[in-house]
Amino acid sequence: MNDRQYWADRPEVASSPGTVPLLLPDVDLVLATDRGVFSADRLDRGTRYLLVDGPPPPDGAVDLLDLGCGYGAIACTLAARNPSARVWAVDVNERARDLCRTNATAAGLDNVEVVAPDGVPDSVRLDGLWSNPPIRIGKAALHDLLAGWLDRLRPGASAHLVVQRHLGADSLARWLDERGWATTRRGSRKGFRLLDVAARPGDPS
Ligand SMILES: C[S@@+](CC[C@H](N)C(=O)[O-])C[C@H]1O[C@@H](n2cnc3c(N)ncnc32)[C@H](O)[C@@H]1O
């Protein structure tokens, strides 16, 4: 896949539908994919790491966010793990959103809300955020993106990010920490870092 395509609002590459298995200890789905979305040929290794070694979602009727949902591996997993949660699946890429919607519906997950980034109502506060974030949009854009969503975490809530070490995971962790989002490394494996990022004290509830 052309790496420059996957975060376009409307990918220019022609559609070429496919599927990838999402096989985790507790989740077994076949997800629809397509050209022009991130990791269309197989579940990304970083995403798998986040889903296997990251924390489970909080219980109850919580609002969770999959930031940059792609075809929905993270959103569908969170929704399956907590059927009472409302999972906001957000992506700029329209093709990715369509796939995510298709995948949630096919899996019978009626608690996934797939929307463009401005589609999450301002009143929604997040009880958790999971992301394999779009590092390739560039450092400044990534910082702005994360800052905007992290400020919507409820006090005491956390974000869970997977980032490749060679794409700047450690400097991103430092940047987050310096700006008041206490960031700890949950794990490190095969070039990926799993980061836990705590809501900033004083952020809106
Ligand atoms: C590394 S991919 C992860 C996709 C998916 N979560 C997965 O694990 O397979 C990052 C995603 O972020 C999306 N993205 C880029 N800029 C974004 C933005 N400003 N807001 C929301 N999503 C964005 C991209 O389109 C892409 O689907």
Domains, the chain, with CATH or none: 18-198 (3.40.50.150)
Determine the pLDDT at residue 1. 42
CA-to-CA dists, residue 14 to 37, 41, 70, 85, 95, angstroms: 11, 15, 17, 35, 11
Ligand 1 mutation target, pool 93, 130, 135, most atoms within 8 A of CB: 93
Determine the pLDDT at residue 46. 98
The CB of 109 under 6 Å from ligand 1? The reply is no
Determine the pLDDT at residue 113. 98
Determine the distance from the C-alpha atom of residue 52 to the mean position of all C-alpha atoms in its chain, rounded to a whole number: 14
Q: Which residues of the chain have pLDDT under 50?
A: 1-3
Element (H, E) at 172: helix 169-178
The CB of 38 under 6 Å from ligand 1? The reply is yes
Determine the pLDDT at residue 11. 74
What does pTM read for this prediction?
Answer: 0.96
Determine the pLDDT at residue 2. 45
Determine the pLDDT at residue 142. 98
Percent with pLDDT over 70 in the chain? 95
